[in-house]
A = this chain, B = another copy of it.
Amino acid sequence: MIETRHQSRALALLRDEGAMSRVELGERLELPRARITSEVARLSELGLVEAAGPSPSRGGRRSTLVRLSNDLRLLGVDVGATSVGVAVTDPSCEVLAHTVEDCDVRDGPIPVLGRITELAEKITGAAPGRLIAAGIGLPGPVSFAEGMPVAPPIMPGWDRFPVRDHLARIWGCPVAVDNDVNAMALGERHAGVARSLDELIFVKVGTGIGCGIVLGGSVYRGVAGTAGDIGHIRLDEYGPPCACGEVGCLEAYFGGSALARDALNLARSRRSAFLADVLAERGTVDARDVGVAAAAGDTSAVTLIREGGRRLGQVVASLVSFINPGIVVIGGGVAQLGHQLLAEVRSVVYRRSLPLATGNLPIVLSELGDTAGVIGAAWSAADRAFTVNT
């Protein structure tokens, strides 16, 4: 769509900082006046930018502000283990409409992507405009360059399925495919508690455990795209079995499935009267019930959260010593265990990491909840749309 790196940088700047004059754009991009004028004219022809009223006076003649065209739309999709979220946003990634539905990722790519395109059709109808790109986060390892999942442990049938090309064909626009936790980290970076912080760690504790690392404002992926995969750090070679086929992984102690397993044990053995009652009543207990039990003062449940928080905290403490981030954000379903979990993680990190690294370090719960993933995916989509095709 766009033709030069200057156009690409101009679009990203307008997305990130809103409307500005041609003069300011030129200064920020270090381009001569004539050049920026012609680049903006071209972007306007392409319908990507539009005039947005006069700029505040800087002395001399007033110039006109330029902004991203208001009718541009981005799609953000967040695929979880058991749900999908789809949002449509304006070109600055503000959510205009959002929907979340139950959906089992194990149904395989064709049914799940079919459901997503249905939801997308419905929701873009609610906020019509010109769709320029879509982003999708998947709950497993992703080859960002190829736009497909690679050997994802909890996504049978998805291995190397060409998600990007499949959706690009349907939607007729560029599609960015990323790991769900990376998308959430980007969402927190651009719209959440970590807004405008360039170095952040986002830890997701849901069915699985993962971590998105943002450095210099961009997702850091590592050489094989596995950076931040803390769920399968082995804490104990003789620990409990993990869904990944190994034993003793962090996730095998404290992911959503591990917590559900422990909750069931507490209920069956009646070590937790609270969970035993839930089990008797509903026939099942899950990670969420542990949070409810703990909030009601059930000591076994509190102990479970504390032990999990301690293990998670040990891993986060190392992360903090390595990365020296500006903020740590904890999100995902199990994060709804809330302040007891947060207190335990904080206590371990502040005790075990370097004082210089923790001196001004906030460790906080996500405030975006289930929009972090869709906003981050929309952000990736915009990056994709604003890249020169080569």
Decide: B351 and A321 in contact? CB cutoff 8 A: no
Known contacts A222-B199, A223-B199, A233-B317; A322 and B356 CB within 8 A of each other: no
Chain A to chain B: the 5 pairs with minimum beta-carbon distance, closest first: A222-B324, A227-B324, A234-B352, A223-B326, A318-B318
Q: A-side binding surface: helix, strand, loop or mixed?
A: loop
A226 on the interface (CB 8 Å rule)? yes
Q: Which residues of B are found within 8 Å of A228, using beta-carbon distances?
A: 322, 324
- List the B residue with the shortest CB-CB distance to A228: B322
Q: Which residues of B are found within 8 Å of A321, using beta-carbon distances?
A: 226, 229-230, 232-233
A122 on the interface (CB 8 Å rule)? no
Give residues of chain A (281-325) contacting chain B, Cβ–Cβ below 8 Å: 315, 317-319, 321-325
**Can you tell how many copies of this chain the complex includes?**
2
Give residues of chain A (352-385) contacting chain B, Cβ–Cβ below 8 Å: 352-354, 356-357, 359-360
Q: How far is the CA of A300 from the CA of B230 in the complex (A)?
A: 35
Q: How far is the CA of A199 from the CA of B213 in the complex (A)?
A: 15
A221 on the interface (CB 8 Å rule)? yes
Q: Which residues of A contact B (CB under 8 A)?
A: 5, 30, 141, 151, 199, 211, 213, 215, 220-230, 232-234, 237, 315, 317-319, 321-326, 351-354, 356-357, 359-360
A–B pairs, 30, beta carbons within 8 Å: A5-B30, A151-B356, A213-B322, A215-B215, A222-B323, A222-B325, A223-B360, A224-B324, A224-B356, A224-B357, A224-B359, A224-B360, A225-B324, A226-B321, A226-B356, A227-B323, A227-B324, A228-B322, A228-B324, A229-B324, A230-B322, A232-B354, A233-B317, A233-B318, A233-B321, A233-B352, A234-B352, A237-B351, A318-B322, A322-B323
